A and B are shown apart, each in its own frame.
Chain A
Amino acid sequence: AQSVTQLGSHVSVSEGALVLLRCNYSSSVPPYLFWYVQYPNQGLQLLLKYTSAATLVKGINGFEAEFKKSETSFHLTKPSAHMSDAAEYFCAVSERSQGNLIFGKGTKLSVKP
């Protein structure tokens, strides 16, 4: 069965600092992996996705994530945080290209001036 674990329900960084949001997954087959962002009172928007083409995936707004099979991880990073990055971030896994996505519980990112 698939599952996703996001380490840390809240992460706080200073503006300009590195952002690192952790995601570990469990899947019995090569997974499809996603990161979504949710701003207050809005739906989720896709940040980036991994579909086996390249292990380092670049997304929107300067975010990227690296797929590490040996660690079953798909951590999200951004070199320099911006105030506008404050939001909740969800990691998700699927075993099929059009299958149901299993979501982690989310990590709320705060950015301090």
Chain B
Amino acid sequence: DAGITQSPRYKITETGRQVTLMCHQTWSHSYMFWYRQDLGHGLRLIYYSAAADITDKGEVPDGYVVSRSKTENFPLTLESATRSQTSVYFCASIRDTGELFFGEGSRLTVL
């Protein structure tokens, strides 16, 4: 089915480890986004990408790295995980009419 697939859906890791969250879309939308969702903060933008090889920082980029070598993939890497990065992460892509389509989320726990 067409859509956005995130993996893993659930991940437990330890402080200091590297973690990569994967995001794959089947529509070939140009723009893709990574948000984190935390109680009391709603959704906050981490990074976004306008096209392959074009990425830019959002509101809360520190501690995260992204890449986009192919239009359909937009992985998010936590280079050295911290407890404050425990969150639910959502990947999204945007249609040319402006609607965001979201994946089902990746719930990350950093111990």
Kindly state the separation between the CA atoms of A12 and B100 in the bound complex, as whole angstroms: 27
Does the CB pair B96–A97 fall under 8 Å? yes
Kindly provide the distance from the CB of B68 to the nearest chain A CB, expressed in whole angstroms: 16
Does the CB pair A51–B42 fall under 8 Å? no
Which of A97, A98, A100, A105 is the one whose CB lies under 8 Å from B45? A100
| Contacts A41-B105, A46-B99 supplied; 11 other A-B pairs, CB < 8 Å | A36-B100, A42-B104, A43-B104, A44-B102, A45-B102, A98-B94, A100-B33, A105-B40, A105-B41, A105-B42, A106-B42
Q: Chain B residues near A41 (CB, 8 Å)?
A: 104-105
Q: Does residue A90 face the partner (Cβ distance < 8 Å to B)?
A: yes
Tell me the nearest residue of chain A to B94, going by C-beta: A98
Chain A interface residues (CB < 8 Å from chain B): 32, 34, 36, 41-46, 49, 51, 90, 92, 94, 96-98, 100-101, 103-106
Q: Does residue B74 face the partner (Cβ distance < 8 Å to A)?
A: no
The size of the chain B interface, using a CB distance under 8 A, is 26
Does the CB pair A32–B41 fall under 8 Å? no
Kindly state the separation between the CA atoms of A13 and B36 in the bound complex, as whole angstroms: 29
43-57 of chain B: CB within 8 A of chain A: 43-45, 48
Kindly provide the distance from the CB of A40 to the nearest chain B CB, expressed in whole angstroms: 11
Does the CB pair A103–B96 fall under 8 Å? no
Does the CB pair A100–B104 fall under 8 Å? no
Q: Chain B residues near A106 (CB, 8 Å)?
A: 42
Q: Does residue B75 face the partner (Cβ distance < 8 Å to A)?
A: no
Tell me the nearest residue of chain B to A96, going by C-beta: B98
Does the CB pair A44–B90 fall under 8 Å? yes
Does the CB pair B31–A98 fall under 8 Å? yes
